[in-house]
Amino acid sequence: MTTPTVDVHCHLDLYPDPRGQVAKLARQKSYVLSVTTTPRAWRGTSALAVGCPRIKTALGLHPQLAKERKSELSLFDKLLPEARYIGEVGLDGGPDCRSFWEDQIEVFDHILASCANVGGRILSLHSRAAATDVLDALERHPGYGVAILHWFSGTQRELSRAVEMGCWFSVGSAMLRSQKGRTLTARMPRHRVLTETDGPFGMVSGKALQPGECVEAIGVLAHLWQLDETSTKNSVVASLRELASL
């Protein structure tokens, strides 16, 4: 029996043929967290996964869309009772997103406060060039739930703080192709590391990763953890079960 793959950050709704992708994932028995970028996308994206219990759909509002979509926060709150998973949310400190930083803070603080209000959620977080700000925001909202830092690219110091705060991590082949990404991953607590593609944005050699295409990431983790690939996959599936039970 082959071990199914785990992809906890994938934009299923942004592939050309989402229904075909879902059918393929169902055949592969992959576990997928299908993240969305706007509250308005959540219903339609959830509908794609009806009948596929291994595909969970996360309610999101991407930081890069914070300015143009903050009007959807009321819809976010309305949908929140039905959504167990949240993402993609977070902050982006890149030069292209700095001009609407205040909007980003407003949106992210609102989302974390709402999650705390409903007893906590599991969140897939974007933290590009903003790891410290994301961790500061989490600290402002105790009770937000459980954080998975997706494609973490902060410093060693920021990583240590995130680990101390109990954060989880999801890593993909694009991140693991860089020495920095591998060094950070080696220092993450193994039982809080999951795999992701970030497809179709996550690319390797100019090609978008397919949903659930985590074989290369598993290979790198196997090497870092000194395990064989089957044990590495089993370990990631066990961690996912642990996360889902939190």
Q: What is the DSSP track for 126-149?
A: E-TT-HHHHHHHHHHSTTSEEEEE
Task: Quote the least distance from Cβ 11 to Mn ion, whole Å.
Answer: 6
Instruction: Note the Cα 237 to chain centre separation in Å.
Output: 15
- Pick between residue 7 and residue 232 the one whose CB is nearest to Mn ion: 7
Task: Quote the least distance from Cβ 213 to Mn ion, whole Å.
Answer: 15
Burial class (CB in 10 A: 0-12, 13-18, 19+), 116: middle
- Pick between residue 88 and residue 158 the one whose CB is nearest to Mn ion: 88
Separation CA 229–CA 217 (nearest Å): 10
Please check whether residue 28 is in contact with residue 213, taking contact to mean a CB–CB distance below 8 angstroms.
Answer: no
* Residue in the structure block whose two tokens are 């795999």: 195
Separation CA 19–CA 25 (nearest Å): 10
Task: Quote the least distance from Cβ 123 to Mn ion, whole Å.
Answer: 13
Which residue's Cβ has the minimum distance to Mn ion?
A: 198
- Pick between residue 4 and residue 87 the one whose CB is nearest to Mn ion: 87
Contacting positions for Mn ion (CB under 5 A):
88, 198
- Pick between residue 198 and residue 213 the one whose CB is nearest to Mn ion: 198
Task: Quote the least distance from Cβ 47 to Mn ion, whole Å.
Answer: 20
Among positive and negative, which fits the CA dihedral 136, 139, 141, 143? positive
- Pick between residue 158 and residue 198 the one whose CB is nearest to Mn ion: 198
Task: Quote the least distance from Cβ 37 to Mn ion, whole Å.
Answer: 8
